[in-house]
């Protein structure tokens, strides 16, 4: 029996695949646990429509990420922090602080988990901070750290 998988099933296939399994396995396991649907004409058509919709949404998300990346690349933010001797900060600047500064100064929503700081920012100056907006889109934000 041909079955459309609704979830990833170990040793059978991935979500959205059409697989050939035994009739009893399909009825007693996959369909009963709502992990699959019988591959009828209507269900196959629904699968095609769902895949087309998913591709359209993915393309829109990529386009939105590219637009946001352009806005971020053109701008910069300024962080004012307490500084000790030699321009060293008390502590370091976190991704949360950068995300809040982007929201305040640029009026853009950026998730703090998408900000990728490789080395902690512990001194004043200008840095480029990568922000991974999409799997294919990474923007570089200029961060100016100044003393109070």
**What secondary structure does DSSP assign to 83-138, as a single string?**
B-GGGEEEEEE-HHHHHHHHHHHH-----GGGB--SS-EEESEEEEEEEEEETTEE
Looking at every residue in the chain, the average pLDDT score rounds to 93
**Statement: residue 87 has pLDDT above 80:** no
Q: Could you tell me the pLDDT band of residue 66, with boundaries at 50, 70 and 90?
A: very high
Mean pLDDT of 106-114: 93
- Whole-structure pTM value: 0.74
């Amino acid at each position: 029996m041909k079955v459309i998988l609704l979830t990833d099933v170990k040793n059978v296939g991935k979500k959205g695949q059409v697989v050939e399994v035994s009739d009893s396995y399909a009825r007693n396991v996959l369909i009963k646990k709502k992990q699959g649907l019988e591959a009828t004409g209507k269900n196959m058509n629904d699968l095609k429509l769902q895949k087309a919709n998913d591709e359209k949404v993915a393309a829109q998300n990529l386009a939105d990420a590219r637009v946001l990346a352009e806005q971020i690349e053109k701008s910069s933010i300024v962080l004012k922090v307490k500084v000790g001797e030699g321009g060293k900060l008390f502590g370091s600047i976190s991704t949360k602080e950068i995300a809040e500064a982007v929201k305040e100064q640029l009026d853009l929503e950026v998730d703090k988990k998408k900000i990728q700081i490789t080395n902690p920012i512990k001194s004043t100056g200008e840095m480029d901070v990568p922000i991974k907006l999409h799997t294919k889109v990474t923007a570089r934000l200029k961060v100016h750290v100044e003393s109070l």
